[in-house]
Amino acid sequence: MKLALTIGASDPTAGAGIQMDLKVFHALGVYGLTIITAITSQSTIEFSSVFPLTEQAINSQFKTLLKDLKPYAAKTGMIYSKEAFQCIIENIKKFNIKNLVIDPVITSTLGAKLIEDDAFEVLKEELIPLSIAVTANIPEAEMLTGLKIRDFEGMYEASKIVYQMGTRSVIIKGGHFDKKAVDVFYDGRVFHKLEGEKIPGEFHGTGCAFSSAFVSFLCKNYNPFEAFKASKDFVRKAIENSLKLGHGINLLII
Ligand code: PXL
């Protein structure tokens, strides 16, 4: 059985973060491992706090876990501080983590900040070059590139800029546009566009579900473009099955 590692934060609703990633890994038949960067306090109606773990706590998880278990692919989600980014980058190099997918999370569904301002440069200049893919939504792609993305052309421009940062494939998810859910994939050669119907509503954790599905499909030997298409289908189904289990935003059902 292939092993997939998620490096991210805890979300007590289990609708995003490492809990969501584990559910997706399990559903897709890969064995999930976790390295926790921070603990958040949140529900479907409010996001109240972030408690970052120390570098010592993050280093210790890497050291102990990876001495024993070797992930075939990995993803990063919420990392939060510049210090945590630097520590994770060192460990990714040290343990030679391959097939790394970066979900460049900036805000939670409820608008809370999931990355500190001084960490953006480290994300762009040091983490992205280590990755096989970056999976961004429109606000994240805008943050990474400084562009204002209004249409498909803008998604194309942004994906070229993110590609230049040193990753091997860029996925930009256009679910934040009004009418259609247009996603794009760029691997430095071919630019692909996938259109889907937009499902109305606010859903928690779609970015986490997408990136962990992508990692799982890599573990199943899909190439990045096939993994992109399969992950889009997987997330669409999870959105169609989503439920309002609390008093606020909908939770995906995996
Ligand atoms: O979906 C991004 C995300 C990642 N990680 C954690 C989160 C969220 C969104 O709320 O809470 C822990």
Examine the pLDDT at 229 and tell me if it is beyond 80. yes
Distance 160 CA to ligand 1 centre (A): 26
Tell me which of 48, 76, 107, 109 to substitute to probe ligand 1's pocket, judged by most ligand atoms within 8 Å of the beta carbon: 109
Mean pLDDT, residues 160-183: 89
Q: Which residue has the tokens 């997939």?
A: 4
Distance 17 CA to ligand 1 centre (A): 5
Q: Residue 197: pLDDT band by 50, 70, 90 thresholds?
A: confident
**Which residue's CA is minimally distant from atom 10 of ligand 1?**
108
Note the pLDDT of residue 178. Answer: 64
Angle of the 224-240 helix axis to the 206-219 helix axis, nearest 10:
140
List, for residues 66-78, the tens digit of each pLDDT value. Answer: 999 999 999 999 9
Examine the pLDDT at 127 and tell me if it is beyond 90. yes
| CATH of 3-251 given 3.40.1190.20, 3.20.20.370, 3.40.190.290, 3.30.210.10 | 3.40.1190.20
Q: Residue 176: pLDDT band by 50, 70, 90 thresholds?
A: low
In the chain, % of residues over pLDDT 70: 98
Q: Where are the domains of the chain?
A: 3-251
**pTM score:** 0.97
